[in-house]
Amino acid sequence: MRTTPVKRAFKYRFHPTDAQAAELSRTFGCVRKVYNLALAARTEAWTRQERVNYNQTSAMLTAWKKKTEELAYLNDVSSVPLQQALRHLQTAFTHFFGKRAKYPRFKSRKKSRKSAEYTTSAFRFEDGRLTLAKMTDPLDIVWSRPLPEGASPSTVTVSQDAAGRWYVSLLCEDPSVQPLPATDAAVGVDVGLDHLLTLSTGEKVANPRHERRDRARLAKAQRQLARKARGEGANRRKARQKVAKVYARITDRRRDNLHKLTTRLVRENQTIVIEDLAVRNMVRNGKLARAISDAAWADFRSMLEYKAQWYGREVIAVDRWFPSSRLCSACGALQGRMPLHVRTWTCDCGTTHDRDVNAAKNILAAGLAVSVCGAGVRPQRSTPGGQSAMKQKPLRREP
């Protein structure tokens, strides 16, 4: 059993007053400014082969607020979101030096996410009413679902998306998230475009194609935006927001569908086996990029992994080069080239396979073998004669 409760972020819509919206907009701008100033200072030091850490940038922030008239407006907002911006920059550099991310980039006023993070010293949460620093009235939050009983937020993040919607995210400990009862069920999952998911049980989950369903509405909004004069005019801003609302609608529906699918898979199965796909490389295919992005395979895997961790399940990723589609799940024979338009095929052993169901079965078998033996599943490069063998590498127990 888990000893420490899981921390979850509960996200809600809220409707700020004009004064609150103005205060938050100023805070977003100050957060972006401090982040960019600190990044510039650290980059300049980096060119001199010097390191600047969080404590030094925090001292710089104090100096900027006290000694620089041009930055005196930083005193008008809460200092906590500014300090949190420096901590986020420190985290970005930690990931960079750990070779887990690229070098941090400057935040853009037009493209960067508008957000500010408040810790416990900068907000008050009493009786379901949240009041942020520098504000007198609580936020008008739409409580679409209750917080865990007795929950006390440790961090509050306020954000505004491109469609103009305001959100508040409350980070709380959720004692209700506990490992589910163990089960012997295991399933292999093959992701695709014709069907979003194909399970080793033979079930196929339809691909909703949310972007395609709203493509006409999106194209109309984008044409209207293209007709507006470039600049900061009110008409162009309204047209840009219409485009953002269509994108937001697509994203919300896609995320909702993925949450339902991943929650179901985690609740019903102890072990879930998937392919370790390089989605970032796959979207470079100009013909399939739009469809792959709409399917959101990377989001599916991310949700599946953190929910499995919450509920005591196991997710196994099989090597992306494992020939799951061309390997007969009945006799193990490997077929030759198999173009994407081939959806069914018959093996020499007489078994007729649905391409996707067969792949899901092979993914499951390979994943279970990996979990037992602790080995990898990789294809061989080629035979000495030059023909591609692409056979499953024998699994052996690691010493």
Domain boundaries, the chain: 6-173, 186-208+251-373
Residue 95 pLDDT greater than 50, yes or no: yes
**pTM for the full predicted model:** 0.84
Alpha-carbon 15 to chain mean position: 26
pLDDT tens digits, residue range 28-87? 999 999 999 999 999 999 889 888 999 999 999 999 988 778 898 999 999 999 999 999
Q: Is 18 a catalytic residue?
A: no
Which range in 175-179, 245-249, 339-343 is most confidently predicted, on average pLDDT? 245-249
- What is the band of 376 on the pLDDT scale with cuts at 50, 70, 90? very low
- In Å, the largest CA–CA distance within the chain is 82
Residue 150 pLDDT greater than 50, yes or no: yes
- Catalytic residue, candidates 117, 190, 211, 294: 190
Q: Beta strand pairing status for 271-275 and 186-191?
A: parallel
pLDDT tens digits, residue range 177-224? 899 999 999 999 999 999 999 999 999 999 999 999 999 999 999 999
Lowest-confidence pick of 293-307, 367-381, 385-399: 385-399
CA distance 126 to 339: 61
> Top-level CATH class of 186-208+251-373?
alpha beta
Q: Is 275 a catalytic residue?
A: yes
- Catalytic residue, candidates 23, 211, 275, 294: 275
- Catalytic residue, candidates 23, 117, 211, 356: 356
Residue 240 pLDDT greater than 50, yes or no: yes
Between helix 18-47 and helix 54-67 the angle, nearest 10°, is: 120
Q: Is 354 a catalytic residue?
A: no
CA distance 1 to 181: 11
> pLDDT at position 388, please?
35
- % of the chain exceeding 70 in pLDDT: 92
